[in-house]
Amino acid sequence: MEAKPAGDRRVRRTRAALRAALVDLVLEKGFHAITVEEITERANVGRATFYAHYRDKEDLLVGIVRDLSEDRERLLPAVEQAQDRGFTGLPVLYVFQHAEQERPVYRVILRGEGDGRALREFTLIICAQAEKVFRTRAEQLGVTPRVPLDVVARAWTGELIGLLSWWVECDTGYTAEEITAHLRDLSVYGRVWATGLTPADAPGAVDLTRP
């Protein structure tokens, strides 16, 4: 394996230090209350070094989201595996496992810090990846979607992010595996089934057994 240049390692360490400093300070004080000076002091780097990597603190926050999205083994990974084996919930499990390992980072993003820019970026990334998976699966199986896939992807993403936000903020008592299983069953069988009803029990359902 080719060794990474020392300069690359320094860049990664510097960016990691700045990201960690931002996350810590945001959780302590809120995004709008912190300054670049505080970030660089906490990260133990100079202002010039900061501006060599990021334009401002907003750019640093969005950079954190993009770093998460580039980690393909953690953020919606194994698309081919999921397609080959059916709807396993595996990609979702990796999202929750990653959030478990990086809980402070996810809290900052999912709270909408920085006027919600990072959350919007995160949502767009997840939505685009989800739509790609749904579209590829439909093409491989030769099926025609009953609902436009951009609508399906947006609805699925909203459900995932809502659940993920609650899970990282609260002591829910659910493991990553358990919450993934619940979300998978909800996606496969629907809300009527999830609440213990049958389709005939749903509000507005037509009773086909009556003449």
Number of domain units in the chain: 2
Question: Does residue 108 sit in helix, strand or coil?
Answer: helix
On whether both 72 and 48 belong to a single domain, the answer is no
On whether both 85 and 26 belong to a single domain, the answer is no
Residue 37 has pLDDT above 90, yes or no: yes
Mind listing the pLDDT tens digit for each residue in 136-189? 989 999 999 999 999 999 999 999 999 999 999 999 999 999 999 999 898 888
Q: Which domain holds residue 159?
A: 68-193
Which pLDDT belongs to residue 205?
Answer: 53
Mind listing the pLDDT tens digit for each residue in 97-148? 889 989 999 999 999 998 898 999 999 988 998 898 899 989 999 999 999 9
Of the pLDDT bands very low, low, confident and very high (cuts 50, 70, 90), residue 1 is very low
pTM of the model: 0.80
On whether both 88 and 11 belong to a single domain, the answer is no
Classify the C-alpha dihedral 189-195-196-197 as positive or negative.
negative
Residue 78 has pLDDT above 50, yes or no: no
Question: Which distant-in-sequence residues (6+ apart) come within 8 Å of 150 by Cβ?
Answer: 131
On whether both 14 and 41 belong to a single domain, the answer is yes
On whether both 15 and 95 belong to a single domain, the answer is no
Can you list the pairs that 93-96 forms with residues at least 24 positions away whose Cβ atoms lie under 8 Å?
93/176, 93/177, 93/180, 95/160, 95/164, 96/164, 96/167, 96/176, 96/179, 96/180
CATH of residue 86: 1.10.357
